[in-house]
């Protein structure tokens, strides 16, 4: 049975899906995703490994296009525009919907050139020095690096590298920032700094974060979608959304037993 569209009680959504099924070849990896992502809020995707959280996330900026066997049924809309329409340029999609990955991945370039790379590629005509400074300030990194912009980004600490990657995403002026386990490779202090940064960024951006960390989801997000996985008779595992609501509802009064078991650590 296809669930109804699960959208928090907020009409201003930036992304939404309709009856989304995600395939790799003939294998259905995720089924029946109907979800709306609110503007200027932090939405967390939680659930066990293999439930499709990152797969759905990467559909939002068409990164899955890089996988030859990938295809979808259903629709994904960004501000009412079909992201998978034939006339849509995936490169432009990725400019407006940026991505920060699990492991910090600064380019082997200077800190300055890490930030300037995307804008240069897109033909930015403004003041590059001002853009670099603003992006680093927005990522809470400027004070750490303002005197060493010619140093390699790879020489920064892990937490600083991740903030550099966030600044790099910000520099191309997206509306949405997707974050796939952005703190998984970081120590607890760096993790808290990233979480504080995410809270500041939601004033200007819509953020979707995948996390296995229940405490992080409960601390850092406004809305939470719980994904689960179901195996068929061939042993193939397909992900689906169990429940989507405000974060406090998911963690304090979930509607489904599976959600309750997962957020309380009794899952499985």
Full set of structural domains in the chain with CATH: 13-263 (3.40.50.300)
Q: Which helix (H) or strand (E) holds 238?
A: strand 237-246
At 11 the pLDDT is 57
At 234 the pLDDT is 73
pTM of the model: 0.91
At 8 the pLDDT is 53
At 232 the pLDDT is 74
Calpha distance 165→28 (Å, rounded): 32
- Cα distances (angstroms) measured from residue 225 to each of 54, 84, 109, 142, 243: 12, 23, 37, 33, 6
CB atoms within 10 A of CB 73: 11
Q: Is 199 strand, coil or helix? A: helix
At 5 the pLDDT is 43
Tens of pLDDT along the chain (268 residues) come to 333 445 555 558 999 999 999 999 999 999 999 999 999 999 999 999 999 999 999 999 999 999 999 999 999 999 989 999 999 999 899 999 999 999 999 999 999 999 999 999 989 999 999 999 999 999 999 999 999 999 999 999 999 999 999 999 999 999 999 999 999 988 899 899 999 999 999 999 999 999 999 999 999 999 999 999 998 767 788 999 999 999 999 999 999 999 999 998 876 5
At 251 the pLDDT is 96
At 12 the pLDDT is 86
- Cα distances (angstroms) measured from residue 208 to each of 97, 144, 203, 265: 10, 26, 14, 23
């Amino acid at each position: 049975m296809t669930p109804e569209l699960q959208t928090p009680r907020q009409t201003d959504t930036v992304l939404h899906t309709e009856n989304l099924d995600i395939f790799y070849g003939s294998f259905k990896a995720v089924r029946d995703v109907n979800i709306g992502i609110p503007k200027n809020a932090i939405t967390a995707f939680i659930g066990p490994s293999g439930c499709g959280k990152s797969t759905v996330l990467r559909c939002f900026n068409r990164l899955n296009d890089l996988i030859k066997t990938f295809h979808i049924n259903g629709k994904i809309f960004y501000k009412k525009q079909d992201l998978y329409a034939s006339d849509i340029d995936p490169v432009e999609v990725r400019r407006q919907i940026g991505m920060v990955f699990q492991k910090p991945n600064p380019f082997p370039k200077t800190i300055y050139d890490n930030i300037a790379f995307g804008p240069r590629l897109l033909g930015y005509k403004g003041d590059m020095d001002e853009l670099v400074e603003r992006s680093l300030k927005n990522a809470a990194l400027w004070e750490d690096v303002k005197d060493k912009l010619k140093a390699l980004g790879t020489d920064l600490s892990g937490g600083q590298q991740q903030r550099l990657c966030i600044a790099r995403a910000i520099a191309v002026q997206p509306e949405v920032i997707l974050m796939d386990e952005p703190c998984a490779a970081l120590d607890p202090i760096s993790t808290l700094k990233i979480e504080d940064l995410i809270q500041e960024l939601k004033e200007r951006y819509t953020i979707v974060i995948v996390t296995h960390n229940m405490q992080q989801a409960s601390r850092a997000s406004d809305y939470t979608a719980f994904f689960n996985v179901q195996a068929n008779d061939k042993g193939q595992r397909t992900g689906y959304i169990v429940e989507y609501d405000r974060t406090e509802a998911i963690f304090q009064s979930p509607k489904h037993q599976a959600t309750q078991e997962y957020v309380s650590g009794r899952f499985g």
